[in-house]
Each structure stands twice: as structure tokens, then as C-alpha cells.
Amino acid sequence: MSKKMLSFLLIMVISFTVFTGCGKSTGGTADNTANKKPAKEEKKGSEKFAGYPMDKKDTEITWWVGTGYTPNEAYASADESPFHKNLQDMVGVKINWQFPTAGTDSNQAFNLMLNSDTLPDIIFHSIMADIERYMEEGIVRDLSDDLEKNSPAYYSFITSNEMYDKHMKTDSGKYYGYGFFREDGGWNDTYLGPLVRQDWLDEQNLEAPKTISDWDNVLKTFKKEYNAVFCAPWDRMKPSLISGAFGAYGLADYTLFVDKNNKVQLAQAQPEWKTYMEKLHEWWEAGLIDQDITTNDDDAVRTKVLNGLTGLAYSSMGQLSNWTTDAEKAGNGAKWVGLQYPTGDDGTLSMVRGGYGIGSTVAVITTSCPDEKLETAMRVLDYAYTDEGNLFWNFGKQGESWDYDDKEEPAYLDLVTKDPDGLNNAISKYGGSTWSGSCIQATKLLYLKNEPAAIEANDTWFYPNEDVTAKWTLPNGVTRTTEESNTLDELVSSIQTYVSETAVKYMTGEESPDTYDKFVKKLDDMGLPTVLKTNQAAYDRFLAR
Amino acid sequence: MADGNLATSSRTTGQKTLRHTLQRDFKLNKYKYLIILPVLVYLILFCYKPMYGIIIAFKDYRPALGIEASKWAGWKHFKNFFNDIYFGRLIKNTFSISGLSILFGFPAPILLALFLNEIRVNWFKRSIQTITYMPYFISMVVVCSLVRTYVQHDGLISQIAVAFGGKAQNFLMSSKYFYPIYIISDIWKNIGWNSIIYLAALSSIDQQQYEAARIDGAGRFKQMVHITLPGILPTIVMLFILRMGSILSVGHEKILLLYNEGIYDVADVISTYTYRKGILNAAYSYSTAVGLFNSMVNIAFLLLSNFISKKTTELSLF
């Protein structure tokens, strides 16, 4: 190579350095530049609504979805995705779908999208908590005046239930969006819980463990007999795990809860949490907890489960379905079942992970949607809450992906049941309610989607503890004022960091729980009292709605 | 280089106005200007125009209001960052990771290039080259999941440790192993790719110098020290200065994929903390302020190392 070649290479290196430095500022805008054409205006503004599909093929609605009902990964775009294609035919309006680039964090994509010149007409994202700020800034439309008229199905649905109504309006009583509701109330909000290998329990003549002492016993036996440890995906375990048995309300995630006197508290600032951490540390020292625990994801745990490295675990009903199919394929005789949440030795249980069956995501209409299009947009969103639309959002197009069976119940057709990607995955190709959506999730869908063992597990986690699943949570519908949002933005992240790292250190013993008093003192210095006061104010206003 | 000469000559010969000079220069070098045009447009559009946005570091930016209408906040966001209880730790971690990467990661490709240069068997040289730069093309997500598998408590590294009487453990859960894991995997991924430029520099060294050295009785090691190294020194210095210009830009994707709550005390760096605080919580102005601070420190380091290098080796970027 000559000198020229060398200088060429050097120039390349320099320009790469320069370009990558600049690239950062342009990264996110690419997502939403694709479709900035102003939507065509409606020809006739006040045409009477005469059922679905509306005859409005020339009206285009732009609709941004961050997560929840983005197209199944089998499809490159909404044009290929059956759910997104079919919804346009069902409502009779052209929809211009927009999604974050695959692999991007949806919060990040949302924050960048807000900076574009034209907003989409509809946005679906988890913005309930900050909705006051978005309305004040003129991003989100106030729908109060038109909701009853333009979205009769949705209006009658939320007003039929006091809790729904409370969640879906602001403190000043304004309606702003279309939420996600579980038909089952809160059953599937408790989708996580303890799991155990029934075949091992039987072999060792053990009863299903009920209390923490029982857990001690089972963990030790499994360790001795099978060299198996407790295992869980870290992201699923770190919010709370089995806090309830200790009277605690959280593990390593900063968790706010509502105590018996309706006071908002931080889970980690309670003395019960210390007891909980001490117990986890004891298990950790005895080698009863997987030593990879904080680096485990779903796949890592699935491998460990398949290899018989764990007999007592904590995960979701969806994962239980996977483990069950894996065990059948491998023929190793493993039989995983759901296990009741353990209680304290005195039988007390302060909480079980769950909620009110109302999601934190919501579809809102932005101020970029012109008045002429408002009714159409509201009708499009209302469709999901009509009887016919509910079936479509859950199961897809009748006759294509499902039809009624002999008992007049919806049942999937071959297109779904024989899908090469598996039933569990195929469901989200045709419906929009699998994870969360602007719709009502049918319980039937969950029954069809999961293995019987998983359904049973969810029953075990939920029904005996129904009264402690939701009451302790800070409801998703609590909204904060602009000022409150700003205050919290400044304080919360350092507290989050401090709480999670201390929790892990207590568990692994890198730090002794004796420093607990210092820990609480430092939390106060970091502004915890202000954080609690701010949330308390928001929660009190919610209660007063 | 040729353009420069022409430009100066036209300035000195004719006693004309600047406008005439420029016109003449454009006419003379029109194709060169044409070639540079796309890059210029790119730089203006994507590097200079967005710089206007830096203003939001000094404002309480809200997208609905836009840059103009958002309220001024002065140094608030900088103060918040400097007063954050984690500020000291973030700076320390960022510099540690970056410093160690430079200390070990920077010489590695140079050594590899020197080593490859000494190999005379062509097929062997080519295969080593291909093998070493292949990891560069593996996506970061895959590299990190490989690393995580290797270091878990029943992983490869643990098994080797046990074979030598050590203890099985998950190395990513212990603070003291994070830096070695980070840096070794970094070297593994980048060594081949980064050595290409040094190989190019090596091949431009005049072969006659080696012949002369051999006649004077210099062995291979002497040749390396007295001919090869000085020959590629300008390249090394230049890349080093550039590397110093990104001292605070630690690749946050990799850390995000590798760290966990238990090792925040060594692994949490400015970019990951800002990611958790800024991007996920929509604190635009705060993130911009931190970004601006980062750039300032980077520029300072770039200028400083450039200055030192100019004084000591008379080699510099500008």
C-alpha cells in the first residue's frame, strides 16, 4: 500500500469519528419522518354515523403505537400484519400506522416523536400519570364534551363501573383517552407467582410449601437431593417476589404502595423490608438461591429449568406454558405447577402482585387531529368497546382467525392453531389485546392462549389472595400536576438507583443489613419525604374524584 | 494539498479583491469543490444545524412549546447534575473504564499489527487477520450475551477457575471483575479491526530503510524499534489524540447489556445514568446539559493531548 492509500484510510477514520459523533442527534427522527403527509380532509364533516364500517376510505387517521399492539415480529410492517390491515376494513377508515423501529425502547421513541412537527392523530402510550402536563401543554385533546356523543360504547362501559370512571378522567373530571381493561377484573394482573416441581415434591413426600418455614424446608431438600436452587428471571423477581410473607411490599425495585391508613409509602423504607432482605441473604449464603440471579433473563431461566437446576422458581404464566412444553418435548418427567404465595409463619400475607385490571397505557387524540376528523377518530377508537369490535380486537376477523364453536364460544381456526410459530405467538398476529391495547382484554383469550397448567397457576396465585392483590397499589389512574411531575422527575432516579443497588448488596451480603438505619436516613436526605408527599397529594385527589 | 498552493499563488500574484480571488479559486478547482459539496452539505445539515438545539440545556424544554417558547432555566440542569449524589461516582467510573480501555485497549492493535508484520508466511498472516477482525462484525447484543454465558457461575470461566482450585461464581455479580470483563471483551471485539490502519501504515514504510539497517547489522528487533515504530508513530499519535477526544464517551450499550444493580458502584457511568434518568423519564434539557458537559470535557482532553503531543513529538492534528 502506498502513502496515498494510507492517507485515504486516515481520512476515513477521521470522518467516521466525526460522523458517529454527529449521528446521535439525528438518530430518533428517522422513525417518524416517513409519514408526514398531511391527512386528507374529510369531504363532509357532519355526516350521520350509521354503524361500522364507516364509509370513509378517503379519511386517513395517523395512529402511533409505542408498545402493546405493534405488529407481530413475523411482519415487517403494518401492511402485512392481519390485525392492522383488517382493523381498517372493520372501521372503514384508512389508518396510517406508526411504530417505533424494532428494538427501540418505546419511552425513548415516544419522547423523540413528541418533538416532530406534526403529531399523529392518535397516540397509544403509557402517559396516564403525566396526562395533566400533556393536556396543559396542548398535546392531548380534552374529550369530555364529545365522549358520550362520539364514543357511546366506551362511555357507557367506563361509566358503568366507578373504578373505571375514576381511572379514566383527570382530577378536574376531564376525559382524555381510551384505556386498557381486563375483562377478568384483576385476575391476569397477578400473572406472576411461585412455581414448583410437583414431581419432586411427590418423590420427597413433601406437601406444597405454604409458609416461609415450609419454603426453607423445600429449598434445603431440593438442594440436597437434586442440587437444585431457587431461580427466577431478575426483571420479574425484583419488583416484589414473596414480599407479602414478611409484611413487606417490594424487593429491589423502587416501589410505592398505599398502606392501611391510605398513606403512600416506599416499600424499602419499612422495617419489614429489612427482615425480608435478611431472609434472602440467609438463603443466598446457604447457596439456596441461584448465584446468577441478577443476570438471569427468561431464556436463561428456561434453560436452567430444562436442565433440572431448579425446583422452586418464580415466573409468569406464559413462561410456565413454555416450561411445560419443553418438559414434554424432552420427556424428562418434570411437572411444573403454580404454587400459592407463601405466607408468614403466622399465616399473614400483606400483598400479592396485582392490580385493578386497568392498564397504565391509554390511547389519546392529539391536538394535531383537526376538528373535522375528531368524530371519525373517536368512532374508530370506540369500535374496540362495541360487542363486535371487542371480538375483533381479541380474536381477529370472524371466519378468518376464529369462529363460534358448538357452544357458541369463540374458538380459533386452523390458521391460528396450526401456525408454524405456535399458538401462543400466532394469537398476536390477528388480535390487538394480547399484551395491552385500547380495548377490553377477553378472559377467554387468556384461556385459549395458555396451557391449562398456567391457567391453574394463575388461579392459585389470585383467588385465595384476591383482597391483597390490588388494594396496596398506587392506582394507574393517579395523575400528577405539571409541577408534581417536574419535582418527581428530579428526585426519583437517584432514589431508584440507591434502592436497587442496596437491595442487591443486602441480598448478596456485600453490605450488612445492619446499615439499614443509615440507608433510610440517606433516603430522607435524597428527598424521599418530598416524593411521598407529592404522591400522597396526587393520590388524595384521585380518591376525591 | 495542491489546492492550497494554487489558492495562495493566486492570492499573491494578483492584487485583487477577495471576491475575485475566491472566484478564481472556484474556477480553477471547481471539480474539487464539487466533490467536497455532499460532505459539506451533510456536515451543515446534520452536525452544525442541530447545534442550535444545545440551547435547550439552558431551558426547561417541553416539546409542545418548542425551543423558542420554553422557559429559560439558566444553569439549573448543570447544577442538578453536579449536585447529584452520584456525580462523583459517575465521573470516577467513566474515567476508570475509559482510562483502562485506553491503557490496555489502545496498544493491543499496535502489538497485533507489529506481530502480523513479522509473519512472512502469507496464508498464516491472512488467516490470523481474518480471525481477529471477525468479532468486530458481531452485534453488541450477541457479544454481551456470549460474555454473560461465559462468566456465569457454571460458565466456562468458572469451570476453568474450579479446575485450578478456584471458586465457581458469577463474575458479573462481583464489582472487582467488571473492569477486566469489560476491557478484555472490548479488546477481543475490536483488536483486528483497529489493527488494519496500523498495517496500512506499516506497508508504507520504505523497504530500503530495512535493507540499509540489515547491512548495518540490525536484527529484527532492532529493525522494529528503530524503523517500524518510528514509521508508524504519526499514525499512533493521531489515533491517540482522537481517542482522547472521546474519553467520556464510554459505550453505554455495552454497559447497559452487562451491568446489574449489584455492581452499579463500578459499572454505572454517566451515559447509563443519564439514560435511566433522562431518556426514559423525558428529561430532555437535563440530558442535553449532561451531553454538553461530556462534549466539553472531551474537547478539553482532545486539545490538551494535541498540545502536549505538539510540544513533545511535534506531531499534531492541527
- Look at B279 and A107 and tell me if their CB atoms are within 8 Å: yes
Q: Are residues A167 and A278 in the same domain?
A: no
CA B80, distance to chain mean position in Å, is: 28
Q: Which one, of B126, B59, B298, lies nearest residue A20 by Cα?
A: B298
Q: Where are the beta strands (DSSP E) in A366-486?
A: 402-404, 410-412, 440-441
Alpha-carbon distance A480 to nearest alpha carbon in chain B (angstroms): 14
Per-residue pLDDT at A224? 95
Tell if the CB–CB gap between B282 and A111 is shorter than 8 Å. Answer: yes
A11/B contact by beta carbon, under 8 A: no
d(CA A84, CA A66): 14
What confidence score (pLDDT) does residue B71 get? 87
Q: Which residue has the higher pLDDT, B178 or B60?
A: B178
* Residue A354, H or E segment: none
Residue in chain B closest to A119 (alpha carbons) equals B64
**Number of structural domains found in chain A:** 2
The CATH code of the domain that includes A506 is 3.40.190.10
Q: Domain range spanning residue A303?
A: 191-353+480-544
For residues B149-165, average pLDDT: 89
SS3 assignment, position A271:
helix
CA distance A42 to A92: 13
- How would you classify residue B94: left for phi > 0, otherwise alpha for psi between -120 and 50, otherwise beta? alpha
* Residue in chain A nearest B245 by alpha carbon: A17
CB contact under 8 A, A504 and B260: yes
Judge whether residue A395 has pLDDT over 50. Answer: yes
Mean pLDDT of B150-166: 89
C-alpha–C-alpha distance, residues A374 and A141, integer Å: 10
pLDDT-based confidence at residue A493 (cuts at 50, 70, 90)? confident
Contacts of B268 in chain A (CB under 8 A): 497
Contact A508 B201 (CB under 8 A): no
Q: Give the span between the Cα atoms of B188 and B200, in whole angstroms.
A: 20
The CA distance from A137 to A534, in Å, is 21
CB interface of A with B, residues 246-265, below 8 Å? 252
A25 pLDDT more than 60: no
Q: Is A265 in the same domain as A414?
A: no
For residues B311 and A494, what is the distance between their CA atoms, to the nearest angstrom?
Answer: 43
Q: Determine the Cα angle at B139 with ends B135 and B140, to 5°.
A: 95
Is A9 within the bounds of a domain? no
| Average pLDDT score, chain A | 88
Q: Is A306 on the interface with B (CB under 8 A)?
A: no
Q: How confident is the model at residue B11 (pLDDT cuts 50, 70, 90)?
A: very low
Inter-chain touch A497–B264, beta carbons under 8 Å: yes
User: With 50 as the cut, is the pLDDT of residue A287 above it?
Assistant: yes
In a domain, A452, yes or no: no
Buried b (16+ CB within 10 A) or exposed e, B292-317: bbbbebbeebbeebbeebeeeeebbe
- A209-263 per-position pLDDT tens digit: 999 999 999 999 999 999 999 999 999 999 999 999 999 999 999 999 999 999 9
Asked if the structure places residue A412 within a domain, the reply is yes
Do residues A48 and A110 share a domain?
yes
* DSSP letters for A82-149: HHHHHHHHHHTEEEEEE-PPTTS-HHHHHHHHTTSSS--SEEEES-STTHHHHHHTTSBPP-TTTHHH
CA distance B174 to A522: 24
Which residues have CB under 8 Å from A438's CB, separation 6+?
A: A124, A177, A178, A179, A180, A361, A362, A363, A381, A384
- How confident is the model at residue A15, as a pLDDT? 53
On whether both A346 and A220 belong to a single domain, the answer is yes
- Write the class of the CATH domain B76-313: mainly alpha
Tell whether A164 and A244 lie within a shared domain: no
The verdict on a CB contact (< 8 Å) between A13 and B262 is no
B261-264 LR contacts (CB < 8 Å, sep 24+)? B261/A238, B261/A252, B261/A294, B261/A500, B261/A501, B261/A503, B261/A504, B262/A294, B262/A501, B262/A504, B262/A505, B262/A508, B262/A510, B262/B173, B262/B174, B262/B175, B263/B172, B263/B173, B263/B174, B263/B175, B263/B178, B264/A497, B264/A500, B264/A501
Return d(Cα A266, Cα A525) in angstroms, integer. 14
Residues of B in contact with A28 (CB under 8 A): none
Q: Which of B40, B256, B260, B265 would best serve as a mutation to test chain A binding (most A beta carbons within 10 A)?
A: B260
pTM of the model: 0.81
Joined together, the cell numbers standing for residue A329 give: 418435548
Amino acid at A137: E
State residue A423's pLDDT score: 83
**A45 and A178 co-located in one domain:** yes
Answer whether A294 sits within 8 Å of B262, measured CB to CB. Answer: yes
Residues of A in contact with B84 (CB under 8 A): 494
CB pairs under 8 A between A and B: 122
Check residue A3 and give its pLDDT: 55
Same domain, A128 and A236: no
Taking an 8 Å cut-off on Cβ atoms, the answer to whether A23 and B235 are in contact is: no
Report yes or no: A341 and A349 within 8 Å, Cβ to Cβ: yes
Q: How confident is the model at residue A535 (pLDDT cuts 50, 70, 90)?
A: very high
Mean pLDDT computed over A186-205: 94
**What residues does each domain of chain B span?**
2-72, 76-313
Q: Are residues A181 and A216 in the same domain?
A: no
List, in order, residues 6 or more apart from B139 with CB less than 8 Å away: none
- Taking CB atoms and an 8 Å limit, are B261 and A115 in contact across chains? no
User: Which triple of cell numbers denotes residue A95?
Assistant: 389508518
DSSP output for A205-219: T-PPP-BHHHHHHHH
In a domain, A314, yes or no: yes
Does residue A80 fall inside a structural domain? yes
Confidence grade of residue B16 (pLDDT, cut at 50, 70, 90): low
Q: Are residue A152 and residue A217 in the same domain, yes or no?
A: no
Contact A30/B at CB under 8 A: no
∠B7-B8-B13 over CA atoms, to 5°? 105
Res. A149: pLDDT tops 70: yes
Of the two residues A225 and A22, the one the predictor is more confident about is A225
In chain B, residues with a C-beta closer than 8 Å to the C-beta of A497 are 86, 264, 268, 273, 276
Calpha distance A521→A104 (Å, rounded): 37
Which is it for the CA torsion B269, B272, B277, B282, positive or negative?
positive
- Nearest-CA neighbor of A438 among A168, A94, A104, A113? A168
**A22 pLDDT above the threshold of 50:** no
Please judge whether B204 and A111 are an interchain contact, meaning their C-beta atoms are less than 8 angstroms apart. no
- C-alpha closest to that of A430 among A118, A171, A75, A110: A75
CA distances from B151 to A286, A289, A305, B160, B261 (A): 21, 17, 19, 11, 17
Looking at the domain assignment, is residue A305 inside a domain?
Answer: yes
Phi, psi at residue A465, to the nearest 5°?
-115, 20
Would you tell me which residues 485-524 of chain A have a C-beta closer than 8 angstroms to some C-beta of chain B? 486, 489-490, 492-494, 496-498, 500-501, 503-505, 508, 510
